[in-house]
Amino acid sequence: EVQLVESGGGLVQPGRSLRLSCAASGFTFDDYAMHWVRQAPGKGLEWVSGISWNSGSIGYADSVKGRFTISRDNAKNSLYLQMNSLRAEDTALYYCAKDTSYSIVGATLDYWGQGTLVTVSS
Amino acid sequence: QSVLTQPPSVSAAPGQKVTISCSGSSSNIGNNYVSWYQQLPGTAPKLLIYDNNKRPSGIPDRFSGSKSGTSATLGITGLQTGDEADYYCGTWDSSLSAGRVVFGGGTKLTVL
């Protein structure tokens, strides 16, 4: 059974940093691209970032480019999101999601975690 | 403002059929596969349709997808109260120097 478990969320002040983690199990992690998708309270889905199977291809939404860094450790079956210079508008539930392809261009997300809540507030 | 345009809400009676549209452009829907996701209240999104019209294992054939040009449509027949959820379309967009995943704004389905 595929499982994606996010962690690392919490309350953080504007301008500070936070690192999210996603522990994956139940599939061959290094065969697939992975993504972070967020959902602000009461709002729709917003893609944040994606990383290919071997970290060779990475993409970011314009809203986070230069502030967030996605990475993965295939030996640990883990996905990460380093979030710096956080803003109030980054407040959201952050989902880790598995792609059906090794490439982020496929953009088909077949399994999602339950999310970790990030609240940016002073 | 989402790159893909969906109606904010649709409604229909139990047992009826409903369609949800998703409009884009040549840089996204026009040249890439479309996926549809169902998000039940308080839960994570779930893949409903992929590659325009394919259903993952376990998704009933009451759910269908189609694509024509720069638009896609999700169809749900035999509506059940358990289908009340938010539905999102998604695809790859290559309009910028670096591509990105894009979603529609979501459509809230109410089963009256």
CB contact under 8 A, B92 and A113: no
Question: At A28, which amino acid appears?
Answer: T
CB of A2 closer than 8 Å to CB of A34 = no
Range A101-120 average pLDDT: 95
* Tokens matching residue A2: 């595929």
Range B59-63 average pLDDT: 97
- Strand segments, DSSP code E, in chain B are 9-12, 18-23, 35-39, 46-49, 63-68, 71-76, 85-93, 100-103, 107-111
What mean pLDDT value characterizes chain B?
A: 96
Contacts of A111 in chain B (CB under 8 A): 47
Contacts of A110 in chain B (CB under 8 A): 47, 50, 56
Tens of pLDDT along A57-86? 999 999 999 999 999 999 999 999 999 999
Nearest to A21 by CA among A64, A111, A81, A86: A81
